[in-house]
Amino acid sequence: MPVISAPQAFNEEDLYVDLRSLCAHPLFLKCEGFNFSGSIKLKAANAMVEAAERDGVLTPESILVESSSGNLGVALSMIAASKGYRFLCVTDPRCNLTTRLLMKALGSQVHLVSGGESGSGYLGARLDFIRDLCARDERCVWLSQYTNPANWQAHYARTAPAIAQEFPDLDVLFVGAGTTGTLMGCARWFREAERPVRIVAVDSVGSVSFGGPPGRRMIPGLGMSVRPPLLDESLVDEAVRVEEAETIRTCHRLARRGFLFGGSTGTVVSGAMDWLERHRAEDLTAVAIAPDLGERYLDTVYQANWVEGLYGSGALDEDEEADPGYRAPGTGGTPGAGEPAPPRSFLGQ
């Protein structure tokens, strides 16, 4: 029975959803949304704050500042509240209202940039604002998730070994790429452990992380408008890109099964299913990482007006017949195909 006295002390590390009801191939989804901050960013936030404390950079007078599309901001708000630091989150209009309210409820300040003040999009505007702030106030401590090695080290220390322990015969790992902290931590761990695991990065169309042309992206979490400084492409076997409309459809397909995940999970699952289909990978054991849950996206990904306004009136028209894995209630049977190597816990080990 976990009993904690600080919110960051708890994180569910061993929960997977078997996606064979959705996908004709063995695919297990590692759920990272079950902690008090509601996302995978808790691990990076914790590691970056602890590193700054170890380095003597953080003092009781410090003001933590960070650029975040939401989830890191919530995680840092929680840790800052728990440890007694002040925190200012610099974000942009794509950060949804619930997330902004969550940060404020935890006692943080939230600053929204408009994006117009920089030629490099919202991210450029957020970073310009922070640089300016740090230059004017020496109490400001910028953790800089885009460059901070503690970001990827958190996943090297925790996320990758947890997956490897549950899936000793893992063949493919699908990881969404934002700052690429999760991707780099996992990729480095599997490379150094000399495990023959294929690392597939999943990115959004419109992101420039892996060299694609820039374009509009409305779903926070994945993708970058500049090349991610943490990214070492030599550790990534392949990168796939997913259209946001497809992300939305996949989120809704998961929701029809009762699994309400965040937008980036729709991207990762869609990219993974497509990859597995193209590689006819019935015999491979695959894991994808789900960074958060869906409640924060009720007014965007799960809101028909928002979806149709951005992606067209047909965006949600997919009928059940177009969903090969769908089983109408009461029709029974074990959906999906293939015999994957199950996680260790299935085997009672």
Binding footprint of ligand PLP on the chain (CB under 6 A): 39, 41, 69, 71-72, 176-183, 221-222, 262, 264, 291-292
Nearer to ligand PLP, 209 or 336 (CB): 209
Distance (Å, whole) CA 87 – CA 106: 10
Please say whether the beta carbons of 343 and 30 come within 8 A: no
Please tell me what DSSP assigns to residue 144.
Answer: -
Nearer to ligand PLP, 24 or 125 (CB): 125
Nearer to ligand PLP, 286 or 288 (CB): 288
Distance (Å, whole) CA 143 – CA 158: 20
Q: How far is the CB of 294 from ligand PLP (least distance, A)?
A: 10
Q: How far is the CB of 186 from ligand PLP (least distance, A)?
A: 9
Distance of CA 294 to the CA centre of its chain: 12
Nearer to ligand PLP, 272 or 281 (CB): 272
Q: How far is the CB of 178 from ligand PLP (least distance, A)?
A: 3
Distance (Å, whole) CA 259 – CA 253: 9
Distance (Å, whole) CA 211 – CA 26: 30
Q: How far is the CB of 115 from ligand PLP (least distance, A)?
A: 18
Closest CA to 265 of 148, 182, 144: 182
Please say whether the beta carbons of 37 and 285 come within 8 A: no
Q: How far is the CB of 3 from ligand PLP (least distance, A)?
A: 28
Distance (Å, whole) CA 164 – CA 189: 10
Nearer to ligand PLP, 153 or 179 (CB): 179
